[in-house]
Amino acid sequence: MKVLILGAHGMLGQALARVFADFSPALWDKDELDITDSSAVKKRLVELNPELIINTAAFTDVDGAEENKKLAHELNGKAVKNLVDVANEIGATFVQYSTAYVFDGKNPDGYKEEDLPNPSSVYGESKLEGEREAVKAKKYYILRLDRLFGKAGEGKTSFIDKMLELAKTKKKLTVIADEYGCPTYAPDLAKRTREILEKQMPNGVYHCANEGSCSWYEWAREIFKIKGIDIELKKAKATDFSRKATRPKYGVLNNTKLPKMRSWKKALAEYLE
Ligand SMILES: NC(=O)c1ccc[n+]([C@@H]2O[C@H](COP(=O)([O-])OP(=O)(O)OC[C@H]3O[C@@H](n4cnc5c(N)ncnc54)[C@H](OP(=O)(O)O)[C@@H]3O)[C@@H](O)[C@H]2O)c1
């Protein structure tokens, strides 16, 4: 099967490249194809003629999106339309990734796949626009995740990188303890993507985070525990920090369609050890 992975240098793109290595996928990032350029998308995709298009390319800077609304919508929304149009023309299956930030996060019980989205940030709105384009593909999967972790793309730092870097110079850290999410390990999500495709699951939305949820504080505490780092952690409220974007208080993705993935703690331990 001819496979194309877009955003291949990013955190998820790199993990997918490993999981789909036996297909020798085409690994394209911005330099190979700018997915916001509709005529280039059409030309290059028709030439390559993949049977499977996996799109991880996105505008992922949640605060940055508040100031770059147009770009966020172009990349997370309109570019998805560019890809879907060609996927339909060449008969390719289309995989799009989305986020817990499409929900308002007011429900402490979290969100099922079919719950009504109601984003509270530009990033969430733009990713929802992408979902609405993705469902127009004849064969599609929308996989939602939250708080991705793994090897970051070049020049980028993850939450884990930031915590470990800060711990080198600080004796005490203050971390938000009233915002919850579901850490998702990029290699586990890449494997889950392949399982969904191989099992030929019905078109639709799937929640693909590792099992369990935690606050940023609980996540940081687990990182330091696994690494054996002795640091004083203090709980903060989300409102103690000034951030441009509003995040869901309970960005919790309930998976009701697929077997459970392993817990985020197990995945984190494997990653850090
Ligand atoms: N990271 C998270 O915590 C998180 C949470 C929920 C959902 N998601 C979703 O998961 C997916 C993967 O995220 P990720 O963290 O792996 O992203 P990432 O590391 O930022 O990777 C995205 C890749 O796409 C590239 N790209 C940017 N603009 C492009 C363009 N116009 N054309 C082609 N490629 C372009 C980026 O290049 P540059 O780096 O040079 O811009 C980067 O290499 C995204 O759909 C994201 O919205 C991520």
pLDDT of residue 126: 98
| Strand 214-215 relative to strand 180-181, pairing | antiparallel
Of 123, 124, 122, the C-alpha closest to 111 is 124
- Which tens digits make up the pLDDT trace of 1-51? 999 999 999 999 999 999 999 999 999 999 999 999 999 999 999 999 999
- Which tens digits make up the pLDDT trace of 105-141? 999 999 999 999 999 999 999 999 999 999 999 999 9
pLDDT of residue 148: 97
pLDDT of residue 1: 96
pLDDT confidence band for 149 (50 / 70 / 90): very high
- Which tens digits make up the pLDDT trace of 156-176? 999 999 999 999 999 999 999
Please identify every residue annotated as catalytic.
123
Instruction: Please report, rounded to a whole number, the percentage of residues in the chain having pLDDT higher than 70.
Output: 100
pLDDT of residue 221: 98
pLDDT of residue 33: 98
| pTM for this prediction | 0.98
Q: What is the CATH number of the domain that holds 262?
A: 3.40.50.720
pLDDT of residue 129: 98
Angstrom distance (rounded) from CA 247 to CA 245: 6
CB of 153 within 6 A of ligand 1: the answer is yes
- Which tens digits make up the pLDDT trace of 210-249? 999 999 999 999 999 999 999 999 999 999 999 999 999 9
pLDDT of residue 167: 97
Residue 8 Cα to ligand 1 middle (Å): 9
Residue-range definition of the domain harbouring residue 184: 1-273
Residue 59 Cα to ligand 1 middle (Å): 6
CB of 97 within 6 A of ligand 1: the answer is yes
The H or E element containing residue 184 is strand 184-185
Angstrom distance (rounded) from CA 82 to CA 70: 16
Residue 112 makes CB contacts below 8 A (sequence gap 6+) with: 207, 254, 256
| Closest residue CA from atom 40 of ligand 1 | 30
CB of 57 within 6 A of ligand 1: the answer is yes
- Give me 157's structure tokens: 């730092």
Domain total of the chain: 1
- Which tens digits make up the pLDDT trace of 238-259? 999 999 999 999 999 999 999 9
3-state secondary structure 202-247: CCEEEECCCECCEEHHHHHHHHHHHHCCCCEEEEECHHHCCCCCCC
| Closest residue CA from atom 48 of ligand 1 | 148
Residue 270 Cα to ligand 1 middle (Å): 23
pLDDT of residue 113: 98
* Spatial contact of 183 and 214, defined as CB atoms under 8 Å apart: yes
- Give me 178's structure tokens: 């009233």
pLDDT of residue 144: 98
